[in-house]
Structure 1
Amino acid sequence: MSEDKSTKAVALRYMASFATGDPDQVAANVTEDFVNTQTGALGKGCETREVYRGRLKGFLGSFVGLKYEPVDVIENGGKVAITYRMRAESDGHPIDIPGVMVVEVRDGLVAGRQDYWDGLTFLQQTKQA
């Protein structure tokens, strides 16, 4: 059976790859010229697969049991908007952060990601605010 390369399927596979905790598996879902845009005040964007892969190690290492759980998925051409719940444990604190990710798909890979999430919720749940 061949892998589903629809925009929605590619975006959902990308989100699910975070649960592996493996930067290589997450980065395997993105294009060489991938653009990661983080809109949260605590987030930092980056460009290219290699830079992204390097930053993933620290990000994935700071969360135990990280999982993005899709809530709603809206597909429009080569883009998908996914509302989600990001659940994990950070420094012994359970976190549950709602967000929206807009994913652009090109040639069966994620070419761009815009992630909208609330940094204050994260700080409150980890007792930093």
Structure 2
Amino acid sequence: MRARDARALIRFLVDVLGFEETVVYGEGTRVDHAELSWPPGGGIMLGSVRDPGGASGGDDRWALQPGSFGAYVVTDAPDELFARASAAGAEITEPPHDTDYGSRDFALRDPEGSRWSFGTYRGEPRRT
């Protein structure tokens, strides 16, 4: 995912939502590559949006617009995470609710405008 202010987005994801910073490469305000781990498993990679006329020369294989990302993240404690995010002033787009497929979910937008949905649904078991 790309961000206008990747360092601020990393702080939000770590401090507000509980991701863990694995590695961040870049100088000053620019983030060339960052990896954040989600404690129950998995993680994300992100970096600063690239300037087409800048040092990268427009050669950005991940030319994504900031705010266009969306993800569903599994958590065993959606109500606690909702309380944490709300207390930090996150923009909540859907308060906690129970779904018809048995999940407890809520959703928010990060400071870049991307949508994050958190819930207890782990998906259907793989077929063997």
Provide TM-score, normalisation by structure 1.
0.30
Q: Which has the higher helix share?
A: 1
Q: Which has the higher strand share?
A: 1
Higher relative contact order (CA 8 A, sep 6+): 1
**Larger Cα-atom Rg:** 2
